[in-house]
Amino acid sequence: MFQGPELWTKIASDPATRAYLDQPDFMQMLREVQRNPSSLNTYLSDPRMMQVLSLMLNIKMEPEPQPEPMEVSDEEKERKERKAAALKEKEAGNASYKKKDFETAIQHYTKALELDDEDISYLTNRAAVYIEMGKYDECIEDCDKAVERGRELRADFKMVARALTRKGTALAKLAKNSKDYDIAIETFQKALTEHRNPDTLKRLNEAEKAKKDLEQQEYYDPKLADEEREKGNEMFKQQKYPEAIKHYNEAIRRNPKDARVYSNRAACYTKLGAMPEGLKDAEKCIELDPTFTKGYTRKGAVQFFMKEYEKAMETYQAGLKHDPNNQELLDGIRRCVEQINKANRGDISQEDLQEKQSKAMQDPEIQNILTDPIMRQVLMDFQENPRAAQDHLKDPGVAQKIQKLINAGIVQTR
């Protein structure tokens, strides 16, 4: 019955099936049945195919009974009208908010709430306006209402999270000391348990940083810092280095901008053999006060102890720029030169040489020199034709790099 030409005529002439001819998916389905009649069963779940099948079999299908429309009560009509009116007020409030006409926006959101108290977005939107107006207490009140009402209505958890985030923002704005931030941080954390929103996470991080900064400000006391530094100095004289470090730690907490404390603590770390910590403190000392020469002597001493003589010499030379006659810096340079010359003469053990070369190979500057194509050719010339390679040393840049390699023990002279 699907093969004859009358198929298309019947479908086209029946008002109930005529539109199917314009539907590509139906036409494909019908052609498949024409090619393979056994595929009909596959498509019987499609009401259009059932309609065409009934048409071809001259069976009249009764339309499915439609439920009689329920009468809408006057109360339900009024409720829908109020909700529609509330949405219009919200849209008007949003428009006013964008124009920064906050007073008008408040009026619209308030009117929306009066019309419909089942949508907490009116509360959260008004809370956002209160934040812009600096009315943080009013914002917090609206957010609390939104959370409470949202729980009653089983509102979307994202809406509840939004209310908590705005409350946390207002609390952070009101914070006057580090402890005030605790409740704001807790509120942001609650919001994140409802919905992990990137904006909420960002505000939480900002609140935690602000709390930490305030804690440091509240703890700041230069007078107490000086007292702790003096106690540390006394412990240092008694060679009680761990105890000295405890006092220096407290001094830094009381006044993190005092370069002297970092210098003193660097000396303690050096005595204890904690070279990375000593180096870090010495560098912090120089960062805080580049003219404080003790920072350079501390840093140079750590580098010298670590057998990084070239770096130590550079550190001592940097210090001399601020105090050219500083004897401690001059003595440091002298010691470095002695060690570098000793190494250049090969007057060190094979073990020390290997250690020196190993450290040098980890230095980014040395690595750059060794991977430079030009320098690789220069080094090759020195090996194969030393006399001709002397021409390379006429270039100051090449000569400086060769000297660095010699000082590092990578290139040895005999």
How is residue 406 written in tokens? 């010699």
Which pLDDT belongs to residue 99? 96
Confirm if 89 and 108 have CB atoms less than 8 A apart.
Answer: yes
Which pLDDT belongs to residue 63? 53
Which pLDDT belongs to residue 203? 96
Please tell me the least confidently modeled range out of 7-21, 136-150, 241-255, 396-410: 396-410
Which pLDDT belongs to residue 389? 64
Q: Does the pLDDT value for residue 243 go beyond 60? A: yes
From the CB of residue 119, how many other CB atoms can be counted at a distance below 10 Å? 21
Confirm if 268 and 251 have CB atoms less than 8 A apart.
Answer: no
Place of tokens 């060690």: 339
Sign of CA dihedral 39, 41, 47, 52: positive
Place of tokens 């596959």: 42
pLDDT band at 393 (very low <50, low <70, confident <90, very high): confident
Could you give the angle at the alpha carbon of 78 between the alpha carbons of 73 and 80, nearest 5°?
Answer: 100
CA distance 103 to 287: 50
Which pLDDT belongs to residue 221? 93
Q: Does the pLDDT value for residue 261 go beyond 60? A: yes
Q: Does the pLDDT value for residue 385 go beyond 90? A: no
* Region of 227 on the Ramachandran plot (φ > 0 left; ψ -120 to 50 alpha; else beta): alpha
Which pLDDT belongs to residue 348? 66
Which pLDDT belongs to residue 119? 94
How is residue 60 written in tokens? 């009249």
Those residues with Cβ within 8 angstroms of residue 125's Cβ, 6 or more apart along the chain or in another chain: 90, 93, 94, 97, 105, 109
Which pLDDT belongs to residue 374? 82
Mean pLDDT, rounded, for 195-222: 93
Place of tokens 């006394």: 234
Q: Does the pLDDT value for residue 323 go beyond 90? A: yes
CA distance 54 to 14: 12
Each as own residue / partner, the long-range contacts of residues 172-176 (CB below 8 Å, 24 or more positions apart, any chain) are 172/203, 172/206, 172/207, 172/210, 173/131, 173/134, 173/136, 174/136, 174/137, 175/210, 175/211, 175/214
Mean pLDDT, rounded, for 383-411: 73
Confirm if 329 and 300 have CB atoms less than 8 A apart.
Answer: yes
From the CB of residue 161, how many other CB atoms can be counted at a distance below 10 Å? 23
How is residue 259 written in tokens? 């370069």
pLDDT band at 45 (very low <50, low <70, confident <90, very high): confident
Mean pLDDT, the chain, whole residue set: 88
pLDDT band at 412 (very low <50, low <70, confident <90, very high): low
CA distance 370 to 373: 8
Buried b (16+ CB within 10 A) or exposed e, 44-61: eeeebbeebbebeeeeee
CA distance 227 to 248: 10
**H-state helical runs in 362-395:** 364-371, 373-384, 386-389
pLDDT band at 106 (very low <50, low <70, confident <90, very high): very high
Please tell me the least confidently modeled range out of 217-231, 232-246, 308-322, 364-378: 364-378
pLDDT tens digits for range 110-132? 999 999 999 999 999 999 999 99
* Residue scoring higher pLDDT (303 or 382): 303
pTM (2 decimals)? Answer: 0.52
Q: How far apart, in Å, are the Cα atoms of 211 and each of 109, 168, 222, 294, 320?
A: 33, 13, 21, 34, 41
Which pLDDT belongs to residue 388? 62
Which pLDDT belongs to residue 363? 77
Identify the DSSP state of 68. P
* Residue scoring higher pLDDT (377 or 102): 102
Mean pLDDT, rounded, for 61-79: 69
What the chain holds in terms of domains, given with CATH numbers, is 6-56 (no CATH), 81-218 (1.25.40.10), 223-347 (1.25.40.10), 367-407 (no CATH)
Mean pLDDT, rounded, for 356-363: 72
pLDDT tens digits for range 5-32? 777 788 888 888 888 888 888 888 888 8
- Alpha-carbon Rg of the chain, whole angstroms? 41
Sign of CA dihedral 225, 226, 227, 232: positive
Q: Does the pLDDT value for residue 300 go beyond 80? A: yes
pLDDT band at 44 (very low <50, low <70, confident <90, very high): confident
Identify the DSSP state of 71. P
CA distance 279 to 300: 9
**H-state helical runs in 57-197:** 74-98, 102-115, 121-133, 136-153, 157-174, 180-194
